[in-house]
Structure 1
Amino acid sequence: MLIIKRLSIRTLFIVFFSLFGCNQNKCNLNGTWEQEGYGRILQIKDSLFAYYNITEESCLPLVEKDNFNGRWKLVKATDTELVLNPGGEVDYSFTRIDSIPENCNKATYNNTPKENFEVLWKTFNDHYAFFKPRNINWNDIYKKYLPVIDTVSSDKELYSVFKEILNQFDDGHIKLIVPDSLKEISKPETIAKTKPIIKERIKADIIKEYVSDAKTYNHVVTWGKLKHNSYGYIHISDMNNFAHYVANEIADKQEFRNRYDEISQAKKPKELFNDEVAGVDYIMNKILNDFKDTDAIVVDLRFNGGGYGRVALQLLQYFIKESRHVMTIKAKNKDHFTDNQKIILTPAKSGYKGELIVLTSHNTASAAEVFVLGTLAYPEIKRYGSSTRGIFSEILWKNLPNGWEFSLSNEIYTDINGIGYEVKGIPPNYKMSYPKLKSDFYKSFYKKNGFHDHLLDSLLLDHRDLNAPTLALVK
């Protein structure tokens, strides 16, 4: 079980009044609620809700009418305060306000390049949490690009300017979604697909060379016993797509993906999150039954670019032996932060009793890093490889007056000692000097003498490639 604790005394009053002052959570939720941090307004009317992205000057609809119970889990409620969970690690706090801001009722905005620039700049200014570690002077960006914006005369030019600004962050959670007609196709389609193909090839070669009796689930988890020792091996390629929707007998990945997407896209968000977590429980019980005679399990996250943080922590629960505080999360809210939320992890009932070894690379990112961050609370869990990518925050989605969407990192994740790993990533206990560039990382598995996974060679001492780079203990 994942437990989230708020670290403010105020919450004790919320709990008290939600039980006694609000008729046991049967409050009238209808009305308008301002979210603490995140720059959003929530409007509830009976079973429906609307959600708005706001700055001091703008209010843009993100969700106009949707089913409340299909999106939100009610955590706590009083007549004046509301705590909801959208399916992740973090609860969202809201305060009731008298009415929706007047500009939320505007039918249209002045859809000018300057108006869009102002909304983009202000949103980042209020909520982006990592200007300093990424060496971004946001005020200088404003001064530099405002004159440029005044010369923009088309959407394509505006897209080019925004792309130039956002690329300076080198943050994998910053995205800009625009119409396809504005994008320039710089690579042939066959080249664009090269990286996923190489990733799948490396995975297949690892399984072929190092793993016996391999099994797969949802094309996202592959497991078996490592050859030459008694370790179990689990390759997890994503922290999503765990729901048990489609028969695992479908070997063709594209056919499986089409069927899975058809089912998952019909689900309401809350139901989908619940199905993802249930899928983790389903497959982990099968895997651990296969590994009941092993001394240790190697979890390979070197190729895992993320997904749902909730899935990552659900997986980690199967490898811990006692409840502990594993991380703390807060969100940037203009010139301050939201209350800390303390994440406490509790072991699964049928968890693994042996040793856990986690493999990481610079391509271990986002929700996969949430898994790795959780392991820091358990010193007996060892990490091999290279530092992770360094992007932890849930993606905060925003929109512009012209209809474009963009995202940013607004949450700070820290370990039990209050240390954050944004940008720098989480270091391993035993270091393998992997290249940071993804293409070079993939190439490192193939040399003149064929395929070698030097990290697994180093773990499997009696099968070790004597010419492989040695692992260095990080002190």
Structure 2
Amino acid sequence: MKYTLLIALCILSRIAFAQPDQIQKKLEGYWLQEGYGIYLEIRDSVYKFYDITNISCQQSASPVLNNWIGSLKSLLDLYDVKKISSKEMILKYGITSYKFKRLKTPLGICQKPIKFSNDPILNFDVLWHTFKENYAYARLRKVDWDKLYKKYRPLISKKTTKLQLYTYFRDILDAIKDAHISLQVPKDLEIAYAKSTASLSNKGKRKRYKYNYPTARYLAQQQVTKMFPQSTFRHFHKDLLMWGKLNQRVGYIQINAMNGFSLDVSIPDSLSTAQYWDRHWGQIVTSLKRGKTIGQYFRDEIRGANVMIDSIVRELSSTSAIILDVRFNNGGTDKVALDILSRFVQQKTAVFSKHVWDKNNFLFEQVIAIQPAPKTYQGKIAILTSRQTASSAETLVLSSLALPNVLRIGSPTMGVFSDVLQKQLPNGWRFGLSNEIYRSNTRQNFESQGIPPKSLIKYPTNVMDFFEAIYSQGKSDLAIQKALDLFSK
């Protein structure tokens, strides 16, 4: 998924690098980021971020910096300043540009921001207003915020417990069925909620699976090795990438996430997958605590992705076709996804557009284009998808719709495209929502329904059933075989 801390590579602003004093002076002031519910103050070379709704203002972590206050220098380590004027500024990180409207005076509601409050009524109202004002898919997913307010608001009082409040929030948000909606609370509250709902979830018969989730996922990912036991497959960062030649004509690249590519980690592959990634992210966090900036980390991520995809494409350059398998990919960073696809693009191509939702309007549409990499692959391409292909993995698939002669095989993707807008409640709980609309180069919106394949394979929607459907095929794989058949025509 596109967790905001992992969604962007941000390069140093060329403008700021050339004329730091001049550009920093121009950035000073009060800024409103419409569509994101963010108010930004820059004064005396210090930035301050606030989350705002129609009824609230509170100190908040920057979407990327993860700190509500800091030096302007650290801000410019992440954002590329694309435009600055007396009326607006546009900052960019990753593939996305963000427009800020300049205010003449400080935002009134933020003169006395909320610092912390456990008031159940206030926390409910902030959550409700944030979704009402910024959630982009209420109409598509048939969510009536006013109706929900009338149903749940009378149930909440000053005496409402944390568990009761969390239960109400879960009832509201889980019903939307949007994988990009999240709610993070203290662990003890999660445990209490799980216990309180255990009797309900245990009603009826639940299917028992032969393997647990990590094992089932691993077996499904390894199905290609059973189909081609004579082939040599190589790996990068445990299960992040797997590639090899299925035969002399066809190469295969399995991409299982759009993040985790940093080359500055060293972990033995002998660890289990769970242990490996715990250690991986642990090393990243440690490096940040020791002084590495988030900007440096993002640049390392993108560098690692580009180094690896270049190496793999060179290794498979003698083939006439490549299968890109993103069936097990739940997302990560759009920048990584588009950089990977740039190895299969022959000319600059506008691949999709995105715009932000603010209250009742669409704002600031931008067209995203891919430039071909210096060295590109010239053969045929097939992309394998499933309902587990999500978020930035879907961005890759969405972008491929603009490319000629790309085969898409499998099931429709999950249908969650927006970057996750991260917010915080007055009581410290964090939550995320979708506030951006992605459209294909032909203006189609595939939210919820997912991107359909050209050649359909009816994989189960349930993730465990899907894994089982893959690893139970003996020494075959329907999607890979379909790609081979189509390549041979």
Please state which band the TM-score falls in when normalised by the shorter chain: 0.7 to 0.9
> Quick check: 1:195 aligned with 2:209?
no
> Quick check: 1:204 aligned with 2:222?
yes
Partner of 1:178: 185
Count residues in correspondence. Answer: 440
Q: Secondary structure at the match of 1:71?
A: coil
Distance 2:77 2:396 in 1: 27
Question: CA, structure 1 residues 107+438, in 2 after alignment: closer, same or farther (shift >3 Å)?
Answer: closer
Q: Secondary structure at the match of 1:352?
A: coil
Match runs of 1:114-153 below 5 Å: 114-150=121-157, 153=160
TM superposition score normalised by structure 1: 0.86
Question: CA, structure 1 residues 120+210, in 2 after alignment: closer, same or farther (shift >3 Å)?
Answer: same
Partner of 1:376: 401
> Quick check: 1:245 aligned with 2:269?
no
Match runs of 1:414-433 below 5 Å: 414-433=439-458
Distance 1:249 1:320 in 2: 35
Match runs of 1:218-257 below 5 Å: 218-219=237-238, 220-227=240-247, 230-247=249-266, 250-252=269-271, 253=273, 256-257=276-277
Match runs of 1:48-127 below 5 Å: 48-63=46-61, 64-66=68-70, 67-85=74-92, 87-97=93-103, 98-106=105-113, 108=115, 111-127=118-134
Partner of 1:9: none
Partner of 1:42: 40
Given that residues 359 and 385 in structure 1 are in contact (C-alpha distance below 8 angstroms), is that contact kept between their aligned partners in structure 2?
A: yes
Given that residues 388 and 425 in structure 1 are in contact (C-alpha distance below 8 angstroms), is that contact kept between their aligned partners in structure 2?
A: yes
Task: Report the AA paired with residue 40 of structure 2.
Answer: L
Given that residues 346 and 376 in structure 2 are in contact (C-alpha distance below 8 angstroms), is that contact kept between their aligned partners in structure 1?
A: yes
Distance 2:356 2:79 in 1: 19
Given that residues 327 and 414 in structure 1 are in contact (C-alpha distance below 8 angstroms), is that contact kept between their aligned partners in structure 2?
A: yes
Residues 186-229 of structure 1: per-residue CA shift (max 9 Å, x gap): 69xxx9x92122111221232343362211112311100114x5
TM-superposed deviation, 1:258: 4.8
Distance 1:242 1:422 in 2: 27
TM-superposed deviation, 1:263: 4.2
TM-superposed deviation, 1:117: 1.1
Distance 2:416 2:38 in 1: 23
> Quick check: 1:367 aligned with 2:392?
yes
Distance 1:324 1:129 in 2: 26
Given that residues 27 and 77 in structure 1 are in contact (C-alpha distance below 8 angstroms), is that contact kept between their aligned partners in structure 2?
A: no
TM-superposed deviation, 1:388: 0.3
TM-superposed deviation, 1:80: 3.4
Unaligned runs of 5+ in 2: 1-14, 62-67, 199-208
TM-superposed deviation, 1:148: 1.8
Residues 24-68 of structure 1: per-residue CA shift (max 9 Å, x gap): 846431222111220101122344322111011101111222332
Partner of 1:457: 481
The 10-residue stretch of structure 1 (26-35 or 51-60) with the greater mean CA deviation from structure 2? 26-35
The CA RMSD measured in Å over matched residues stands at 2.8
Task: Report the AA paired with residue 417 of structure 2.
Answer: F
Residues 260-305 of structure 1: per-residue CA shift (max 9 Å, x gap): 3244331433222222221121011110111111001100000000
Residues 389-438 of structure 1: per-residue CA shift (max 9 Å, x gap): 00000000111111111110010000112110000000001110111111
Q: 2:376 aligns with which of 343, 351, 358?
A: 351
Distance 1:151 1:453 in 2: 57
Distance 2:134 2:47 in 1: 23
Q: Secondary structure at the match of 2:460?
A: coil
Partner of 1:287: 312
Partner of 1:261: 281
Given that residues 393 and 411 in structure 1 are in contact (C-alpha distance below 8 angstroms), is that contact kept between their aligned partners in structure 2?
A: yes
Distance 1:69 1:134 in 2: 37
Distance 1:341 1:117 in 2: 33
Distance 1:262 1:109 in 2: 29
Distance 1:79 1:263 in 2: 43
Distance 2:407 2:380 in 1: 9
TM-superposed deviation, 1:138: 1.6
Distance 2:464 2:282 in 1: 32
Distance 1:151 1:77 in 2: 45
Distance 2:393 2:228 in 1: 23
Distance 2:113 2:158 in 1: 27
Partner of 2:10: none
Distance 2:318 2:125 in 1: 60
TM superposition score normalised by structure 2: 0.84
> Quick check: 1:276 aligned with 2:280?
no
Question: CA, structure 1 residues 47+287, in 2 after alignment: closer, same or farther (shift >3 Å)?
Answer: farther
Given that residues 221 and 237 in structure 1 are in contact (C-alpha distance below 8 angstroms), is that contact kept between their aligned partners in structure 2?
A: yes
Given that residues 445 and 451 in structure 1 are in contact (C-alpha distance below 8 angstroms), is that contact kept between their aligned partners in structure 2?
A: no
> Quick check: 1:213 aligned with 2:232?
yes
Given that residues 121 and 157 in structure 2 are in contact (C-alpha distance below 8 angstroms), is that contact kept between their aligned partners in structure 1?
A: yes
Given that residues 319 and 352 in structure 1 are in contact (C-alpha distance below 8 angstroms), is that contact kept between their aligned partners in structure 2?
A: yes
Distance 1:113 1:247 in 2: 45
